[in-house]
């Protein structure tokens, strides 16, 4: 499958990779797109902060950054995820780590599908899309 999982500067190994791949491919199909090469890179807060500074000129921590390499109807890109931020968010939102990780992964995929979250109404919409996708996790 064209969805690959990597760890950059953290020791993290996602279990059930094939379930995640199937879920992501299915979510992309629901939106009438094809799945291209998608890299999901697990990293630290500092690693993601440097990406945020270098490429987006933002000087703050975040849980996910997505780089879109779509071509026509083929969804492709890199999704960087801070494992530290996901752990902290799970505690803050009182959910299991794996639940928060699923949310952040699908959030990145939704960005690849063209969903934005830079306005309050768009944040609400993308959050609703996340919830719908989470219900369909196999």
Q: Tokens for 29?
A: 């199909």
pLDDT-based confidence at 24, cuts 50/70/90? very high
Nearest to 118 by CA among 73, 78, 58, 71: 58
Q: Is 53 helix (H, G, I), strand (E, B) or coil?
A: helix
Shortest CA distance to 84 belongs to which of 69, 70, 104?
Answer: 104
CATH number of the domain that residue 56 is part of = 3.40.390.30
Domain membership of residue 46 as a residue range: 3-135
Q: What is the mean pLDDT of the chain?
A: 96
Domain total of the chain:
1
SS3 of residue 110 by DSSP: helix
Q: Are 5 and 40 in contact (CB under 8 A)?
A: yes
> Model confidence over 86-108: pLDDT tens digits?
999 999 999 999 999 999 999 99
Its pTM stands at: 0.96
pLDDT per residue as tens digits for the range 113-123: 999 999 999 99
């Amino acid at each position: 499958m064209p969805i690959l999982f990597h760890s950059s500067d953290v020791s993290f190994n996602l279990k059930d990779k094939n379930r995640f791949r199937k879920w992501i491919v299915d979510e992309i199909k629901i939106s009438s797109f094809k799945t291209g090469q998608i890299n999901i890179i697990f990293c630290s807060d500092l690693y993601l902060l440097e990406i945020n500074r270098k490429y987006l000129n933002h000087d703050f921590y975040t849980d996910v950054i997505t780089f879109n390499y779509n071509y026509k109807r083929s969804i492709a890109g890199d999704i960087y995820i801070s494992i530290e931020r996901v752990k902290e968010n799970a505690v803050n939102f009182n959910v299991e780590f794996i639940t928060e990780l699923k949310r952040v992964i699908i959030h990145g995929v939704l960005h690849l599908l063209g969903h934005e979250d830079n306005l309050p109404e768009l944040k609400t919409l993308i959050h609703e899309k996340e919830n719908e996708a989470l219900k369909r996790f196999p």
